[in-house]
Amino acid sequence: MDVATMFTPFNDFDRLAASLFARQGLREMPMDLYRDGDRYILRADLPGIDPESVDVDVDGQLLTIRAERKLPEVQEVQWITRERQSSSFVRQLNLGQGIDIQNIAASYDNGVLTVTIPVSAQAKPRKIQVVSGQGEQQALGDGQEGDRVIGEGELVNGTSSTQSTEG
C-alpha cells in the first residue's frame, strides 16, 4: 500500500522563515490578551526562561516585554536534533489611552508571564445622576469633585443648555 505525502509549498516556506528568524535570535512569544472588568490580562508563553531574564517596562504608552533563554553549551557531542536554542524574545504593545500605567503588575509562573494592566479611573464608565424639577437647576454628575450644575442658557461643551418648564 502506497502512502501519499501531501505537499504544500507553505510548509517549506514556513521552515525557511523559521530558520531565518532563528538565525537572528528573535523567537515567537505567543500571547493572549483579554479584558476582565476594570483590567486587561496579558498571558505570554515563555517556557524555559529564567525569571531573572524577564523584563517588562512601559515607556509612555508602549509596553515592552523582553526575555532571554540561555542554554548551556554542550561540547563534543553528536547532535541528532537540536531545536532548542539560546534565544531572545521581544514583544511590544501600544497601550493607548485610559490605562493606569503606574499600577501595571507582572508575574511569571510555570513558563507563563502574566501582566495585569488596570484601566485608569478616568476611563472607567460612571453613572451620571440627573436631578430635575420645576424651576430647579439640573445637576449632572455623581457628586464627585469637578461636577458642574447646569442652569438655563449656560453653554456646555459649546452647546446651549436650556430647561423647559411646563405651565
pLDDT tens figures, 91-135: 999 988 889 999 999 999 999 999 999 988 776 677 888 888 765
Q: Quote the percentage of the chain above a pLDDT of 70.
A: 62
The answer to whether 40 touches 119, Cβ cutoff 8 Å, is: yes
Closest CA to 98 of 117, 83, 79: 117
Say which amino acid occupies 109. D
The answer to whether 140 touches 154, Cβ cutoff 8 Å, is: no
pTM above 0.85, yes or no: no
Contacts for 68-76: CB closer than 8 Å, 24+ residues apart = 69/27
Q: What is the DSSP letter of 103?
A: G
Mean pLDDT (the chain) is: 74
The domain 25-73+81-123 having CATH identifier 3.40.50.300: the answer here is: no
Stretch among 46-60, 75-89, 97-111, 151-165 having the lowest mean pLDDT: 151-165
